[in-house]
Structure 1
Amino acid sequence: MIVGDYDGNVKEKSNVRVKHMASTTTEGDALNTLMEEVKTEYTLVLRNVTELDSNAQIERLVREIESLNVNAVGGAIRNSDNIWRLGCHQRVFRNYTLVYEEGYDESMHDCVFCDHVDGPFLIKTKILKTIKFDSILTPMGLYEDFFMRLNTEVAICPDALFDMDFPRRSELTKDWEKFGRKRNLYKLKFSFGLTIHFGCNYAYPCERIKGFIRSPCCIQELADLIYGFMDMCEKVKGSCQLNCGTVLGTVKMYNAIPWEEDADLNFRCHDFTKLKNASSKLSSSGIRVGVEHLSNCTPTAIPAQLGARSKHWHADIWSRYTMESYEVRSKHRNFTRIPFNGRLVHGMRNPVLFTRISYSDIFMHQQHFREVGFGRVKQFSKCPKVNGHDCIDNYYEDGNIQFRDPVA
């Protein structure tokens, strides 16, 4: 047994080697230091163990790591209140959201297969020394990251029982921050009710790369750009509408499409000066509006154009001589309001009929034409990264429920 000791209280014995740690040594660093001392084919990694006795069934774990042909195998756990837990979790990582569901969906030899285990585990020493623990991470996320990088099924044989304190999972976002940023997480969820929202106050990814979807923070920025201009338009009693792919995404997903390229809006050309002057107020929210094309407000003139920009996005805002929303207002009829990213925006009276004029099979999905060209493409592009959480081919070409939080 090799023990990491922070307090200097553990004494060497014939079968116990002690590695003394400085108080600043992280748990990951400590584990990596200890594993370098291991000479056996397998290593038993013990965390939070209060008592180790014959119930651990270590010989059985050795047999099963070989017969099940897995890289690691653990046991069930019991805490100091004598509460028993299986400690087996299934994991799914998709669209910047990481979900853990406690339970199993496959078993063999009276053992269950897991993506993540809460308790002690026996692992092939060669694998352990290759994977290692991330010395930068805090205890919140240290083992989650380890099993993600192990990236293979782990077995739990629950007739092996370890007495230990159940792993503590903090409810504070700051405690998970290093893990969240390492994985570019937007959200972390556990089936027992804990959800960690990481927010968007960091340098989130927003590059356009074929075969990938945008991060939720990137889509949030686009939604804020669209809503910011629409809200300003409404406050000055202008007449504005969503247009093209923007209204398409709204009726399909109540949001911008996750692989969107830009935003498209319309306004009644008689409101050009009013909107241009009012747009200066949007600079406080990080939205810059400029004139991209001037034109006379006549039925035959080339449309005038405004352009709105945020940090990563651009919106084309085109003038129209006539606007359905203006006609609706002039007749004192109610606007249609469409849910959009948790808010409501004014749109045309029948948004789906409006959309069908420009698009066919509107509730089917298609990548942007800048990635795949024009014409109906029947399937998403193959992702250049294997099993990437942000790969567009994680999704099928119909339905919007799949873009909500994944289920393990």
Structure 2
Amino acid sequence: MTTKMTSRKILAPQRTGPCLCLRKNFKRIIISSVVFVTMVTLIILSSTDRIPKLTWQTTSASDRSCLSVTQRRMLAESIMEVQRNIAFLAGTNSTVDSKWAMQLESIASQLDLRLRSRQHQSALLPDMEPKNKQGNGLSHVCHEVYFGRKYDKPFNQHGMEIQKCDYAPPLSDVITVILPAQRWSNQRIKKVLTKLCNLYRVPVIVLAHSSTTFTTSLPNVQVALIESDTGDGKALNSIISTVGTPFTMIGHSLVTFSNQSSIERLVRVIDDLPHVQVATGAFRDEEGHWSHGCLQQKMLNYRAKFKYGYYYSKYECMYCDMSLGPFVTTTDLLRRVKFRENLTGTILYVDWFTRVRNAGVLGMACPDVMFFVKTTTDLTKQDWGTYAKAWELQTITDHHGVTFQYQCGEVGLTCESPFDIIGSFLLPPCCLEIVTKEIEFLVDFLEENNMEYELRDGTVLGATKFGSYLPWDFDVDIFINCKDKDKLLREGEKYVRTKNCTLEIKKSYYFVVHCKYFFYEFMCHNEISNRFLPKEYQSHPTSIYYSGRWIKVIANPGLFSRNNIGFNDLRHAQHWRHLVKNKNAEDRGAYKNPGSWKPCSRPGFHACLDQYPGDGNLPFVEL
């Protein structure tokens, strides 16, 4: 069976198995479930009543009832992503992320093409009457009409045309333009102002260095002098408090202004799509390099990664997590999510977009709007370092694929008191590196001295789940054969001192190596577990690939973990010392509710344990 796919699809999944043909009733049940989940989410979290609309790829008209295996898997993953986000927030007073509603509606539109026909378009057709009322009040700008693809052949510089109307206020009452020009030359300031004011009669505020000699007699232009020791963020926050219009444009990095930089278009996008509060355009630098400027961001486990591109679109604009060019936003949002006062330059805006996205607000980049900027932004390791410190990140991969690494001390992280850290957070990578090297250091000693040993308890649980140290543990459990105890105590004490560690004898069979941050518990037994292996394998103890090398563990680590932890041992929970003991939990094993986390002490922080699913190891390593 073959299926005709339309040329406009964003994705073109290949057939990897039989086509699943869904009956109409079953499809409608799925759609009803998606809508129900959306409504329940909004009711439970009760933060907003604005539900975004978006379309995604659908099957062609000739194949409406069939979904390929690839498409089904994509839909399932999208639903599960929303489900995971809802699951750990359900029952709390939290922010509804606009992206969830957008994803759910896009899933519904894939299952029923009729939903697509109900979506509003970005412009009217010539025979359509405008609707000047929006869900959030009057339109702030006049509507556009699309006159067709032949309207301005062959260059198509026109087609979507703004119409005159009597319902929109003057643009001067709608938007204020702020130009952060502290490091601009007088000539550049003059050029941008002249071009801008020739096109738009709107209030403009120029942030200029206090030593500037620039003056202007242009109407509606205010020059605010900024001292050299005042950060860009602090200067912007101060001046935004004086803005009297509902929208603000931050015109950073501009070198000129033209009629291709349509302010009305960006205001209209925010007007028409209530879940969108930031709109930007493409940008072109002085070398002629063009970029749509739409970036996606993911921040997890002390790492951040930026990708150039988009997953969703509407109104011929891309949904973005951030952009590196000039942008329009609501003045209210700028006052609610302030710029970080100690940051300066482009990284200031990267940081602001990150906090806007964390607040559940969406932005869009409309590539038909083109700004002219000084240079295409390439941030250095030093630039990213200020961002890494602000967000406590050890690794940043930028949108060019370049990765920057930072040490714990450079970004304000510490490995002091691992036990306190794991109450809410994953251990930072630098701490995992320390404990891994110390495990290797001790294992080297044991193996060089032909001592029988094996990892046990929580350490073998980490080895089973992750092939590494469990990132919410704080000690290490090692069992040895008691016949090697005297040698370990005699030779081991001198050995561990070379790493500034100490060896303490707790009991005749129990001793502890204390290092700077972590400690290592040794228990001796008259036998170790290799006796449970078939006789022919007892001389070859079981090893597991652990952080890049083979290390000996209990004979059957999976069986040990299942019997030691009990039900659902592969699911996750905080270290047992951070949980209240419960008789029911003890009867069932080690944990009452495996697969769930305690609420984080810093809600929303990227290293919070409750940011992760309670099951699976890949979410902790993928980004």
Tell me whether 267-276 or 74-83 shows the greater mean CA deviation.
267-276
More helix by share: 2
If asked which structure has higher relative contact order (CA below 8 Å, sep 6+), I would say 1
Aligned partner of residue 358 in structure 1, secondary structure: helix
State how 1:365-404 maps to structure 2 within 5 Å.
365-370=572-577, 371=579, 373=581, 374=586, 375=588, 377-384=593-600, 386-404=603-621
In structure 2, the residue matched to 1:320 is: 525
Deviation track 1:351-402 (CA, whole Å, cap 9, x = no partner) reads: 4455455345554444433326433534212524543322333333432221
Q: 1:11 to 1:254 in 2, by over 3 A?
A: same
Q: 2:377 aligns with which of 160, 167, 181?
A: 167
Deviation track 1:45-84 (CA, whole Å, cap 9, x = no partner) reads: 0121121111110012122222212322111111222222
Aligned partner of residue 564 in structure 2, secondary structure: coil
Query: Are the equivalent residues in 2 in contact too, given 1:212–1:383 (CA < 8 A)?
Result: no
State how 1:89-128 maps to structure 2 within 5 Å.
89-128=295-334
- Alpha-carbon distance in 1 for matches of 2:513, 2:371: 60
In structure 2, the residue matched to 1:300 is: none
How far off is 1:326 after superposition?
Answer: 11
In structure 2, the residue matched to 1:260 is: 473
Which amino acid in the other structure matches residue 290 of structure 1?
Answer: E
Aligned partner of residue 117 in structure 1, secondary structure: coil
Which amino acid in the other structure matches residue 394 of structure 1?
Answer: Q
How far off is 1:9 after superposition?
Answer: 5.1
How far off is 1:343 after superposition?
Answer: 4.0
Tell me whether 201-210 or 226-235 shows the greater mean CA deviation.
201-210
Query: Are the equivalent residues in 1 in contact too, given 2:324–2:350 (CA < 8 A)?
Result: no
Which amino acid in the other structure matches residue 576 of structure 2?
Answer: F
Query: Are the equivalent residues in 1 in contact too, given 2:422–2:472 (CA < 8 A)?
Result: no
More strand by share: 1
In structure 1, the residue matched to 2:487 is: 274
Query: Are the equivalent residues in 2 in contact too, given 1:140–1:176 (CA < 8 A)?
Result: no
In structure 1, the residue matched to 2:217 is: 13
Query: Are the equivalent residues in 2 in contact too, given 1:61–1:74 (CA < 8 A)?
Result: yes
State how 1:26-41 maps to structure 2 within 5 Å.
26-41=231-246
Query: Are the equivalent residues in 2 in contact too, given 1:241–1:325 (CA < 8 A)?
Result: no
- Alpha-carbon distance in 2 for matches of 1:357, 1:312: 30
- Alpha-carbon distance in 2 for matches of 1:10, 1:352: 73
Which amino acid in the other structure matches residue 448 of structure 2?
Answer: K
Q: 1:100 to 1:332 in 2, by over 3 A?
A: same
Unaligned ranges ≥5, structure 2: 1-203
- Alpha-carbon distance in 2 for matches of 1:231, 1:372: 37
Aligned residues: CA RMSD: 3.0
Query: Are the equivalent residues in 2 in contact too, given 1:395–1:402 (CA < 8 A)?
Result: yes
How far off is 1:3 after superposition?
Answer: 2.0
How far off is 1:30 after superposition?
Answer: 3.7
Which amino acid in the other structure matches residue 102 of structure 1?
Answer: Y
Which amino acid in the other structure matches residue 10 of structure 1?
Answer: F
- Alpha-carbon distance in 1 for matches of 2:240, 2:615: 48
- Alpha-carbon distance in 1 for matches of 2:434, 2:440: 10
Deviation track 1:12-70 (CA, whole Å, cap 9, x = no partner) reads: 23243333334444332343344345333221101211211111100121222222123
Q: 1:285 to 1:143 in 2, by over 3 A?
A: farther
Query: Are the equivalent residues in 2 in contact too, given 1:2–1:37 (CA < 8 A)?
Result: no
Query: Are the equivalent residues in 2 in contact too, given 1:48–1:166 (CA < 8 A)?
Result: no
Query: Are the equivalent residues in 1 in contact too, given 2:569–2:594 (CA < 8 A)?
Result: no
Which amino acid in the other structure matches residue 469 of structure 2?
Answer: A
- Alpha-carbon distance in 2 for matches of 1:224, 1:139: 39
How far off is 1:327 after superposition?
Answer: 12
Tell me whether 232-241 or 255-264 shows the greater mean CA deviation.
232-241
In structure 2, the residue matched to 1:51 is: 256
| Equivalent residues, number | 394
2:546 is equivalent to residue 340 of structure 1: yes
In structure 1, the residue matched to 2:512 is: 307
- Alpha-carbon distance in 2 for matches of 1:51, 1:175: 25
How far off is 1:350 after superposition?
Answer: 5.1
Q: 1:85 aligns with which of 291, 300, 304?
A: 291
- Alpha-carbon distance in 2 for matches of 1:222, 1:93: 24
Deviation track 1:215-234 (CA, whole Å, cap 9, x = no partner) reads: 33333333233223222222
Which amino acid in the other structure matches residue 216 of structure 2?
Answer: E
Tell me whether 192-201 or 111-120 shows the greater mean CA deviation.
192-201
In structure 2, the residue matched to 1:193 is: 401
How far off is 1:146 after superposition?
Answer: 0.9
In structure 2, the residue matched to 1:299 is: none
2:362 is equivalent to residue 153 of structure 1: yes
Q: 1:159 to 1:212 in 2, by over 3 A?
A: same
Query: Are the equivalent residues in 2 in contact too, given 1:247–1:351 (CA < 8 A)?
Result: yes
Tell me whether 85-94 or 220-229 shows the greater mean CA deviation.
220-229
Which amino acid in the other structure matches residue 485 of structure 2?
Answer: F
Which amino acid in the other structure matches residue 190 of structure 1?
Answer: D
In structure 1, the residue matched to 2:390 is: 182
- Alpha-carbon distance in 2 for matches of 1:292, 1:325: 26
Query: Are the equivalent residues in 1 in contact too, given 2:249–2:327 (CA < 8 A)?
Result: yes
How far off is 1:156 after superposition?
Answer: 1.8
Query: Are the equivalent residues in 2 in contact too, given 1:325–1:347 (CA < 8 A)?
Result: no
- Alpha-carbon distance in 2 for matches of 1:275, 1:181: 42
- Alpha-carbon distance in 1 for matches of 2:494, 2:232: 51
Q: 1:224 aligns with which of 419, 437, 449?
A: 437
Which amino acid in the other structure matches residue 371 of structure 2?
Answer: F
How far off is 1:8 after superposition?
Answer: 2.0
- Alpha-carbon distance in 1 for matches of 2:596, 2:569: 16
Q: TM-score scaled to structure 1, two decimals? A: 0.85
- Alpha-carbon distance in 1 for matches of 2:486, 2:352: 58
Q: 1:211 to 1:78 in 2, by over 3 A?
A: same
